[in-house]
Each structure stands twice: as C-alpha cells, then as structure tokens.
Structure 1
Amino acid sequence: MQGVLNGFTTIGLVIAVGALLAHLRIVDLGAQQVLSRLAFFVASPALMVVTLSRADVHQVLSANLGASAAGVVVAGGVYVLLARTLWHRSMGDTTIGALSSSYVNAGNLGIPVASYVLGDAAFVAPTLLFQLLVFQPIALGFLDADAHGGRSSWWWLLTRPFVNPLTVGSLIGLGLSLTGWTLPTMVSAPLGLLGDMAVPSMLVAYGIALRLGPGLGRAGSVAELVTTSSLKLFVQPAVAWFVASVVLGVDGHALLAIVVTSALPTAQNIFVHATRYDRATVLARDTILITTIGAVPVILLVAALLG
C-alpha cells in the first residue's frame, strides 16, 4: 500500500507548489494558461513518443482490455446520456464531462501504483494504450469539431484527431514500438527532456487553477460534479470487475490489476484539454480533485478485497 500513498503524495505536493505560487502572486491565471498550452502542444506529445516507444503494445490486444474498456464506455456513456438529456450541455462540455467520468490517470499515477501495488508496471499498459490510441483521439475530434461550431462532417471527426499533437505523438511512439526502431540520441534525448516537463507542468497549472479559480462546487452544477466523481470512483471499477470476473472469467491477480487500474482517479491532462478548448474547466478541475482524494480509500479497499 506504500506505493499508492507515495504516488498520491507526490502528485499532491506538486499541485500544492502551484497553489502556493499562485497564493504568493508569483504566477497568475495567465501562467496557468501558458503551462497548460505548453503541456498540450509540446511536452505531452514528446512524452507520448517516449512512453509508447518503450511499451509492449501487444498487450493492448489482450482479453483483459475488454473489461477496462467496458468500464470506460459505461461510465462515460452514462454521463453523456445525462448531460445531453438532463443538463443540455454542449458537445464540448459533454466531451470533457465524459472524459472526467472515465479517463483514468494511467500515466503519472497508474505506473507507480501498478509497480508498487500490483508488482509490475506492465499491468497498466492496456489501459494506457487504449486511452491514448482510441479514447483520447475520438474525444479530441469531438472537441475540435465543437471548437469549429459543431458543424463538421463525420469525415472531419474521423480525420481531425490525427493532426492533433497528442495523437501524432502517440502514433509515432506506437510506430516505433511496433517496428522496434530506436531514435538516435540527438533526437531521443531532447524528446525525453521535453517529456519530463509534461506531468509537472500539468500539476503546477492545476494547482494555480485550484487557488485562483472558483471554489470547489461554487461554479457549475453540484449534481454534475457528484455524478462525474461517482461514475469514476465507483461505477467504472464495478463494471470492469463484472465484465472481467463474470463475463471473461478472469480471477486472482489479473482481476485485481483490472479493477485497481479502473479505480484510478481522473487524469490531470483532462484539465489541460478543458483549458485548451475552454470547455467545462471547473467540472474537470473539481472532478480531478475529488477523485484523486477518493481513489486512495477505494484502491485500498479493492486491494484488501481482491488482493
């Protein structure tokens, strides 16, 4: 359990640095915007190239991926249904809400949790790759379409993600992994340096927004926030458990790995996307905060029940 606590503590402290800098007026919301854009356009794509080039992408085709994907689809789908029929949110706001409800922090938190709690960082690879290569490109396509007035064709939705820097970085990393090619040092070294900047930039920008933005629950719908947080913390891992255990017959340590990765909190890069497209930023920010805090007891409970 020490790995879970270490991972969450590290994230919390870096976020606190951002909040402290904002409190001392060293930075402002303008700095938060700059950091978010830097993470979106430069650092995160570099990180995707480096991360995926080293990953075993064949794991994404494993049967266990079906359970993790089911949790994502159900949690995100429930939010979309409510957002469009009950709260009448726009396509962009609905997309960010769906991401907040189901996109797990498989990178900077999932990797240490998988290493320390599950014993192997590879357990998080299927979820990581599914999100980067399937879920995120689709979501970014809808966000791009919404940014252009929502009048784009299906062809636009299908092709637009592939000019997005995050998707391009992911595809390059995937190609390197599948072919076994290795980038020359003069390319890989600066990419690694830029990639190392991605997570700290996201966390510091998030901390600034926590300090200078509206207070928790003071903007937007409280019911919406409760919905996104509940879907992420409880519905997604429950669906993943059901599909893995009952439908696919997975048990033992493999089942634990599926449920733990599904119970990870909402990823900080969802706030970066929300800021980049100026859609549902407060909802994304608050959901990340609540799920990051709430995931600790949830993961500890899952580990106690299935470990």
Structure 2
Amino acid sequence: MTAVLSSFLVVGSIIVLGYLLQRNHILGNNAELIITRLVFFVASPALLFTTVGKSKPADVFGPAMAVQVISVVAAVIAYALFSILIWKQSWAQTVVGSMSSSYVNAGNLGIPLAAYVLGNAAQIAPILLFQLAIYTPVVMLLLELTSQRKANIGKSLLHAFANPILLASFAGVIVMVTHWHVPNVIMEPIQLLSGISVPGMLLTFGMSFAADRTLLSSGSTGPVATAVVLKNIVQPVIAFFLASRLFDLTPANVMACVVMAALPAAQNVYTYATRFGTGKELARDGTLITTLVSVPVIVVIAFLLS
C-alpha cells in the first residue's frame, strides 16, 4: 500500500508542476498545445508500440479486456436509459452524455497510471484498443447521423482510424503475435522517445486545470450528476465484480481493471461535442468533475485492493 501511495504522490507532484507552469505562464502560451502534440504524435505511440509489442496476447485480449468492455457498455446503457426516460435529451446529447459516463481517459491519465503506479503500461492496452478501434468510430458515426451538422461519415471514420496511438498499438499487436524481433537500430530510438510520454502526459494534464472554467451550466446539473456517478462509482464497481467474481482474476489484475474503470471521462468527449456542436456544456462539466472526483476514488481503490 505504501508503494502505491508513493507512486500516486510522484504522479501528483508532476501534475501539480504542470499546473504551476501553465498558471504562471513559465513556458509560454502555446506550451500545453506543443507538449500535447509531441506526446500524441510521437511519445505515446512509441510507448504503446514498445509495451504492446513485448506483451503476451492473453494480457491484451484476455479477460481484462472483457471486464473493461462490459463495464463501459453497462455505463453507456445506463446513461442512455436515464437520458431517454428522465432527462428527455436529444439523440446527439444522449451520445455525448453516454461518452461522459463511460469513455475513460486512457491517454493523459491512464497510460501514466498503468506505467508508473501499476507497473505495466500494457494494462491500459485493452481499453485503449477498444476505445480507439471500436468505441470512437461508432460514436463518430452516431454523432454524424444525429447532430445538426451535415454528415460526412467517411471523413469522420478516416479521422478516427488515422489516430497515431491506434496505429502504433496495432503495429505492436503485429509484433506481439508474430514474435518479430525488431532490430535494435529501430527499437532503441523508439524506446528513448517513449520515455517522454508519461511525464509529458502528466504535465499537460496538470496544465489543463489552469484554464478558467465555469462549472455546471444551467440545465445540465442532472445529466452531469448522472454521468459522474456512473463514471466514478458504477463503472468501477461493475469492473470489480466482473474481475473478482465472474472472471476470478488475480488481485493485481482486479486492481488494474478497477483502476482503469475508475479513470475520469476523457477530454476527447468535449472535443467531439464541440466538433459536432452538441452537448458541449455536458461534456465540459462532466470531464472536469469526473477528473476531480476520480483522484480520491482511485486512492480509495488502491487502499482497498492493494
């Protein structure tokens, strides 16, 4: 338990550093954007390629993936029922709200936690592959069909599948399945670049808190509260019972599944809501509040399961 808490303190200190750097404009106004692009296009793909490539197929496509996928789908269905029966939201708003209650921040927070706190970045691979390869394309398609924007389904799907993290993960899967030994002249530069990923993500995650934000826009309290409860409480509870009771995973794998499920809603949700012009306030408030709530929730999970 002490080791886990120490890891959280280290992770938290870098997040706080990112906040202070951005709040005091030490790195300039465009620092967050530049570091985010470096991490997204270079460092994170390098990290996912190296970790997935060295993993075993059972670690990526085994019971852990089933646990995480089922918990995501359960949260989506639950929010959709609340949205249709109680909040009377439009179909597009229902899609955004469902994402806010289930789409985990596997990038900015999930990869660092898996790599540093759980000790294995491959722990994030199952949910990351599912979200990038299946969940995101489905959401893009639904938003194209239900939003007020003129549909351009081909462009949206191309954008979803051209994600560099997804492409690097698939490349890692190919290496993993074929047992190909990547030449050192190629692998060593990739491993060096992968070292940027975790600190870079944590810094930008902290920087994101420095922006001025207004919480709980008028009329969004109910839907936001629903999304927060589903994301921060219901989804990890479902993951715990699936991992420990149904699939009977080891204690370490149970904690990994529950921590991954307890991650906050990803910032991608707000990006998609903005792009399609629907549910922006819900996505913004849901992302921020689930992020704030996830910190004590994950600490409690670590305390109970470690």
- Which of these residues, 116, 131, 134, is aligned with residue 135 of structure 1? 131
Match of 2:114 in 1: 110
Contact 2:72-2:103 at 8 Å conserved across structures: no
Q: Compute the displacement of 1:84 (Å).
A: 6.3
SS of match in other structure, 1:26: coil
Match of 1:257 in 2: 253
Contact 1:103-1:266 at 8 Å conserved across structures: yes
In structure 1, the gaps of 5 or more residues are 116-120
Match of 1:183 in 2: 182
1:81-137 Cα distance to aligned partner (Å, 9 max, x none): 44566344547734641444686955321344434xxxxx4xx85x53321322222
Q: Compute the displacement of 1:46 (Å).
A: 1.9
Task: Write the letter of the residue equivalent to 1:26.
Answer: I
Mean Cα displacement is larger for which, 175-184 or 55-64? Answer: 55-64
Task: Write the letter of the residue equivalent to 1:291.
Answer: S
Task: Write the letter of the residue equivalent to 1:66.
Answer: A
TM-score, normalization by structure 2? 0.76
Match of 1:210 in 2: 209
Match of 1:45 in 2: 45
Q: Where do 1:105-254 residues align within 5 Å?
A: 106-115=110-119, 121=120, 125=122, 128-142=124-138, 144-145=140-141, 146=143, 149=149, 151-153=151-153, 161-214=160-213, 217-218=215-216, 221-248=220-247, 250=248, 254=250
Q: Compute the displacement of 1:144 (Å).
A: 5.0
- Which of these residues, 290, 294, 299, is aligned with residue 293 of structure 2? 290
1:114-166 Cα distance to aligned partner (Å, 9 max, x none): 34xxxxx4xx85x533213222222332465558947255x777765432212
SS of match in other structure, 1:128: helix
Q: Compute the displacement of 1:235 (Å).
A: 1.4
**For residues 196 and 267 of structure 1, do their structure 2 counterparts lie closer, same or farther at Cα, with a shift above 3 Å needed?**
farther
Contact 2:132-2:161 at 8 Å conserved across structures: no
Contact 2:232-2:264 at 8 Å conserved across structures: no
Following superposition, which runs of at least 4 residues in structure 1 exceed 6 angstroms of deviation? 155-159
Task: Write the letter of the residue equivalent to 1:266.
Answer: L
Task: Write the letter of the residue equivalent to 1:262.
Answer: V
Mean Cα displacement is larger for which, 98-107 or 164-173? Answer: 98-107
Contact 1:28-1:208 at 8 Å conserved across structures: no
What is the distance in 2 between the residues matched to 1:135 and 1:47?
Answer: 17
TM-score, normalization by structure 1? 0.76
1:233-289 Cα distance to aligned partner (Å, 9 max, x none): 3212322233345544x27xx256325532344269x23674588563453233223
Match of 1:20 in 2: 20
**For residues 7 and 100 of structure 1, do their structure 2 counterparts lie closer, same or farther at Cα, with a shift above 3 Å needed?**
farther
Task: Write the letter of the residue equivalent to 1:135.
Answer: Q
The count of residues paired between Structure 1 and Structure 2 equals: 289
1:20-72 Cα distance to aligned partner (Å, 9 max, x none): 11221224664323332332222222222112111112233434543333222
What is the distance in 2 between the residues matched to 1:283 and 1:5?
Answer: 26
Match of 1:60 in 2: 60
What is the distance in 2 between the residues matched to 1:106 and 1:209?
Answer: 16
**For residues 242 and 218 of structure 1, do their structure 2 counterparts lie closer, same or farther at Cα, with a shift above 3 Å needed?**
closer
Match of 2:277 in 1: none
Q: Compute the displacement of 1:187 (Å).
A: 2.2
What is the distance in 2 between the residues matched to 1:137 and 1:196?
Answer: 25
**For residues 51 and 247 of structure 1, do their structure 2 counterparts lie closer, same or farther at Cα, with a shift above 3 Å needed?**
closer
Mean Cα displacement is larger for which, 88-97 or 6-15? Answer: 88-97
What is the distance in 1 between the residues matched to 2:128 and 2:22?
Answer: 31
Match of 1:118 in 2: none
